[in-house]
């Protein structure tokens, strides 16, 4: 074996076995290779020749022949011991650098895979866009059952919408929008009185989009109800009237109307309460236009434009006429507030009676007890005034109240066992009945309570 410098690339070792390095080895002198025949010669050279650093000047340049035999004999052969504590690094600038590591191979593979995947995806999208093949995403069968259960909101809406109309009213003070619903085949439509008040022209638009002119039949501001009529319209769809006495708290309801002129709007909710004493109106200042309603309360969203629309039960029967909402902001009466979940509807039983009278005579009658109330009384109950209007007696002579034994100064605390807390509530409880209906009044007089029987009289409304 020739004694010349080893120029092969040095292998990389990640570990070496313990106990393999020989103690007392000279500095910088590697151990001989086990399979080398000149082992004793290398060891002797290591002992006779001082160790020296191996640098680039010891490495022959490419293409340069081996040194002369006498020079080579003076230089000991450098052997690489893979088990050495400090492996000798042999540099050969004329050869290819060290091989690629494992982590570099992994990184290169991942980069290649990502590049191939991205390129393939882009080419696929490009080919799909340029392809003439029609792209169609999966979808549920469009020809599936389009029917809805009759008691569902969709089923109720499908039944009722053909009978609901939108009213556009123009008057001397401006224009407005409201809602109504068809009562019969003769073209009578029920709505709120405040929708058609001061009207000069009324246009009715059906759910089909057809619009016709309507005429006012009659209205009553005390009940906030009115009837208009269209002529020459065929194929009308009158809505079925339910019984508001059967309504219970928690019953599902659906409201239909034109909030902010958005016709055929359907909302859903429940009956939140019954028998809510609600007063509305009073714009004239003399109280002649105040509406007193023993209302159904609902959380179905109702907004301006829903007025006069139907409130329907699960059988698509009308149980109320949507009339009022409670606004969150009451400081600005000119501002139209939206729904906060407090809507009120006139019970349909009351609406039916008033509509029948308006269609028949153009006016509605109010049940009365023939007394004048002290509306400034701050105590609990409704107090009968000391005097009536224009100095007349507060209890009408030979009226229903006088015949029942009511006197001036009496405080009425209950109607048919239901407590009343003020004059407004007493009027509301009375107007929830018909003229001629008997009532039981609980009266507080001189600190003692007594019950009186009264039969309601009749008075013409406004």
Catalytic hit among 307, 323, 339, 394: 307
Q: Is 445:410 a contact under the CB 8 Å cutoff?
A: yes
Question: Is 317 assigned a catalytic role?
Answer: no
CB atoms within 10 A of CB 334: 4
Residues 46, 43: Cα–Cα separation, whole Å: 5
What token pair was written down for 219? 């209205």
For residue 151, give Cα distances in angstroms to 47, 160, 245, 312, 368.
109, 12, 20, 11, 39
CB atoms within 10 A of CB 137: 4
Structure tokens at 362: 């153009």
Single out the catalytic residue among 220, 224, 289, 313: 224
**Dihedral angle sign, alpha carbons of residues 444, 446, 449, 453:** negative
Residue with the two structure tokens 């089923």: 155
Longest dimension (CA), the chain: 156
Catalytic residue among 188, 193, 194, 299: 194
Do strands 199-205 and 188-191 pair parallel, antiparallel, or not at all (unpaired)? unpaired
Q: Alpha helices of 185-255 — where are they, by DSSP H?
A: 193-196
Nearest-5° Cα angle at 173, 232 to 366: 70
For the question of residue 207 being annotated catalytic, the response is no
Element (H, E) at 448: strand 448-455
Sign of CA dihedral 450, 455, 460, 462: positive
386 is catalytic: no
Catalytic residue IDs: 194, 224, 307
């Amino acid at each position: 074996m020739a004694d010349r410098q080893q120029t092969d690339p040095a292998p990389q070792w990640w570990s070496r076995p313990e106990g393999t390095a020989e103690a007392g080895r000279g500095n910088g002198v590697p151990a001989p290779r086990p399979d080398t025949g000149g082992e004793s010669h290398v060891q002797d050279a290591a002992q006779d020749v001082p160790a020296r650093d191996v640098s680039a000047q010891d490495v022959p340049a490419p293409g340069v022949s081996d040194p002369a035999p006498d020079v080579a004999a003076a230089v000991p052969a450098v052997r690489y011991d893979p088990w050495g504590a400090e492996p000798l690094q042999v540099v050969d600038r004329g050869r290819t650098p060290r091989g690629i590591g494992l982590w570099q191979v992994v990184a290169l593979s991942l980069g290649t895979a990502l590049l191939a995947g991205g390129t393939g995806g882009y080419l696929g999208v490009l080919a799909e866009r340029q392809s003439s093949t029609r792209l169609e995403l999966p979808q549920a069968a469009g020809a599936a059952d389009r029917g809805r259960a009759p008691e569902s909101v969709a089923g109720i809406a499908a039944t009722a919408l053909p009978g609901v109309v939108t009213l556009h009213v123009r008057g001397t003070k401006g224009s407005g929008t409201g809602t109504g619903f068809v009562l019969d085949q003769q073209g009578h439509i029920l709505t709120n009185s405040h929708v058609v008040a001061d009207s000069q022209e009324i246009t009715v638009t059906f759910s089909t989009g057809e619009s016709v002119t309507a005429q006012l039949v009659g209205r009553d501001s005390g009940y906030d109800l009115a009837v208009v009529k269209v002529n020459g319209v065929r194929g009308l769809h009158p809505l079925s009237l339910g019984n508001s006495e059967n309504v219970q708290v928690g019953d599902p309801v659906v409201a239909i109307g034109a909030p902010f002129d958005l016709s055929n709007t359907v909302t859903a909710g429940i009956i939140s309460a019954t028998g809510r004493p609600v007063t509305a109106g009073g714009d004239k200042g003399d109280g002649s236009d105040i509406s007193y309603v023993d209302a159904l309360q609902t959380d179905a969203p109702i907004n301006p434009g829903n007025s006069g629309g139907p409130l329907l039960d699960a059988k698509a029967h009308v149980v109320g006429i949507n009339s009022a909402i409670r606004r969150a902001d009451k400081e600005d009466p000119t501002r139209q507030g939206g729904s906060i979940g407090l809507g009120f509807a006139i019970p349909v039983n009351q609406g039916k009676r008033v509509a029948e009278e308006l269609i028949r005579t153009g006016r509605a009658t109010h049940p009365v007890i023939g007394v004048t109330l002290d509306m400034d009384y701050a105590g609990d109950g409704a107090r009968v005034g000391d005097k009536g209007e224009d100095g007349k007696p507060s209890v009408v002579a030979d009226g229903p109240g006088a015949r029942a034994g009511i006197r001036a100064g009496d405080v009425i605390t209950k109607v048919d066992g239901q407590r009343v807390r003020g004059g407004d509530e007493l009027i509301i409880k009375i107007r929830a009945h018909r003229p001629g209906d008997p009532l039981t009044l609980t009266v507080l007089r001189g600190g003692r309570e007594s019950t009186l029987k009264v039969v309601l009289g009749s008075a013409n409304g406004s």
